[in-house]
Amino acid sequence: MVGLGVVYTRTIQDSVLTLSASGWTYNNVFVLYDYQTESLWYPMTDQVNFTTPLVCVSGFFADEKLAEIPSTKTIWQAWKSSQPNTKFMKP
């Protein structure tokens, strides 16, 4: 839990998953839970492709993977100056 963020696809076998923190951690990393199948998901490093897919470790999609999506961690001012046409919704 070091302030890192990762983005994953949520689509698998024609299903779109809703992921949330399960309340558990393993090696100081959050274990995620999907509401559709009540499966548990954990990021595992792929030593061949140097990626970190989200792997289903328990449940309906056991051993299936959700791919990591490229993302950027930044502050609002930097994003706004580099992407001036960005549209967003206020909470």
Which of 43, 41, 2, 45 has its CA nearest to residue 20? 41
DSSP 8-class letter at 46: B
pLDDT over 90, % of the chain: 56
pLDDT digit string (tens) for 24-67?
998 888 899 999 999 999 988 766 666 788 999 999 999 999 99
- The H or E element that residue 31 is part of is strand 29-34
Backbone angles phi, psi at 78, to 5 degrees: -65, -40
Structure tokens at 51: 């990626």
